[in-house]
Structure 1
Amino acid sequence: MSAVLIIFFVWTIVNSLFLISLPKRPHVADLPLVSVLVPLRNEERNVARLVRSLKRLTYSRLEFLLLDDQSTDGTEALLRQETAGDHRFTIIRGKALPDGWVGKVHACHQLAERAKGTYLFFIDADVQLKPMVIEKLLAVAKTYDAKLVTGFPSFHPRSLPLVGKWLVPLQHFFVLFHLPLALANYTMMRSTTAAHGACLFFERAAYEAIGGHAAVKNELVEDVMIARKMKAHRHRVIIANVSTDVVCYMYETNKEVWEGFLKNVYIGLNRSPFLVFVLSMFYGVFYVTPLVLAPLSLIYGWTYALPLLIIVAQKAYVEWKTERSCSTCYWMPVSALAFIVLMYASMRAKRYEWKGRTYT
């Protein structure tokens, strides 16, 4: 087992070399208008941090469109309070959700209709941006002739509940371990596509050419699906390491973590029971069993603890590369077990609930 796990570790390191880094000192020759688009539904806890983050952005040609998507809390009032006096901000009241649409997708569609920018930057309300992120994303788009630049934000483990510490950092692990990044970034293969809704930086012309969010109106995993649409239309998609400049405060309770992942996992696996079984066996054997073997090292020698040390080191590398923290790497066996349970729960669910809405 240890030899196989070492191969997995080496593969993760090699694969990570194809994750595009954001430039530290970006140079942008021209300054196109960029529209920063944010859907918000019951996000009063995030409004102040979000708006203050947007105000610190250093790019000179920006407009901010913030859509209150039928919130039942104080989101709209806080938005108006925090943006008062800044002409760059426009607050939009979202329309009622039509049949056949997913809530967030409809909100993004409305935002795009009102945007004026040459580039459309969709982010989530729980995101905090570093000041030069627009320049960096624009530089990557120009350098690689990319029509969509996306990436997975960093997460602050201290802000996550316990279940969040198990599951949230796995997103980076799956990308660096399972997604062949050379194919993802340098080919048009739709199957090698990943994206994160917290960071979707589109060239507007390409976005409109594929039909925008209307093309994925009924998709719960709309970020991945719209990235696949881009590739289907021969538009280049770049997955970048945006964790240096995009920070996400995703969940505050274990219930939120569970419901958030429950709605995405089985759909993300193309609703395939076979994939659920295969991944359960894979993670059970290689990432849960090492925790069972480790205590035997007290009787039979240190080699029984080696598999556990390797998977923790693999996870630590991923966190160092993308999370800027190695504080949750020790949870790897528990994270793998939680992921297996989550897959089966997601597969068995008859409907999914999120932000007060129900989807099937």
Structure 2
Amino acid sequence: MIVSVIVYLTANMIYLVRLEPVTGKLDDPPMVSVCVPARDEERGIAACLESLLAQDYPRFEVIAVNDHSSDRTGELIRELAEKDSRLIALDGKDLPQGWLGKPFALHQAFQKSKGDILLFTDADPVFKPHALSKAISTMREKGLD
């Protein structure tokens, strides 16, 4: 078991696509909507959203959905949204029959989105400032749009 895990991790380190530094500015950069569902993420939501808002990419919005949190997640999202118009704070609607929480929160973010490209992420990662630029540049260079 341990050997198979080591082989798997080694293969991933060798073969995963590495995002190269952006070479020049993007011409006509597409609008990106970053959708962040958050439930009881008080400990990490501010760092996540602040890192997204610190991106060097020129055209993006962040849509954070407070999915019925029992902690201060919604309050923290709203506080940050008051300071930066690129952050849209949503309070999640009641869950319809047949839906699960996270997919429905993402659906609500999608409905509010204005982007040509959607990026879905959890509420706890902290992004480096060039993450969006590198991702969009790589997407364009590889013809993935």
1:47 CA displacement: 2.3
Secondary structure of the structure 2 residue equivalent to 1:48: helix
Alignment of 1:126-137 (within 5 A): 126-137=124-135
SS in 1 for 2:83: coil
| 1:85 lines up with 2:83 in the alignment | yes
- Residue equivalent to 2:59: 61
Within 5 Å, which residues of 2 pair with 1:128-277?
128-146=126-144
Q: 2:30 aligns with which of 29, 32, 44?
A: 32
User: Using the alignment, how far apart are the partners of 2:74 and 2:7 within structure 1?
Assistant: 48
Q: What letter matches 2:131 in structure 1?
A: V
Structure 2 residue runs without a partner (length 5+) = none
Q: Which residue of the other structure, out of 15, 19, 33, is the alignment partner of 1:18?
A: 15
Q: Report the Cα distance in structure 1 between the residues aligned to 2:49 and 2:122, rounded to whole angstroms.
A: 12
Q: Deviations over 1:4-61 (max 9, x none)?
A: x99x977865664331100123443321111111111111111221222122111111
Distance, in Å, in 2 between the alignment partners of 1:15 and 1:75 is: 34
Over residues 103-129 of structure 1, what are the superposed CA-to-partner deviations in whole Å (9 max), with x where a residue is unaligned? 101111111111000111111111111
Choose from 101, 108, 115 the match for 2:99.
Answer: 101
Change (3 A) 1:15 1:68: closer
Equivalent position SS for 2:48: helix
Query: Residue in 2 aligned with 1:41?
Result: 39
TM-score (norm 1): 0.36
Bigger relative CO (Cα 8 Å, ≥ 6 apart):
2
- How far apart are residue 87 of structure 1 and its match? 1.2
2:112 to 106, 111, 114: 114
Distance in 2 (CA, whole Å) between partners of 1:120 and 1:142 is 15
Count of aligned positions? 143
User: Distance in 1 between the 2:10 and 2:55 partners?
Assistant: 32
Q: Could you say what the CA RMSD is over the residues aligned between the two structures, in angstroms?
A: 2.5
Q: Taking structure 1 as reference, are residues 110 and 26 closer, same or farther at Cα in structure 2, changes over 3 Å only?
A: farther
Q: Aligned residues: percent identity?
A: 35
Instruction: Please report how far the alpha carbon of residue 86 of structure 1 lies from its aligned counterpart in structure 2 after TM superposition.
Output: 1.4
Q: Determine the C-alpha separation between the residues in 2 that align with 1:59 and 1:72.
A: 33
Distance 1:134 1:11, change over 3 A: closer
What are the Cα deviations for residues 237-265 of structure 1, in whole angstroms up to 9, with x where unaligned? xxxxxxxxxxxxxxxxxxxxxxxxxxxxx
Residue deviations 1:273-310 (CA, integer Å, cap 9, x gap): xxxxxxxxxxxxxxxxxxxxxxxxxxxxxxxxxxxxxx
Relative to the length of structure 2, the TM-score reads 0.85
Shift of 1:100: 1.6
Equivalent position SS for 1:130: coil
Return structure 1 stretches of 4+ with deviation > 6 angstroms: 8-12
Question: Is the helix fraction higher in 1 or 2?
Answer: 1
Contact 1:26–1:136 (8 Å) recurs in 2: no
Partner of 1:74: 72
The unaligned stretches of length 5 or more in structure 1 are 148-360
Contact map agreement 1:51 1:83 (CA 8 A) in 2: no
Contact kept in structure 2, 1:26 and 1:135, CA below 8 Å: no
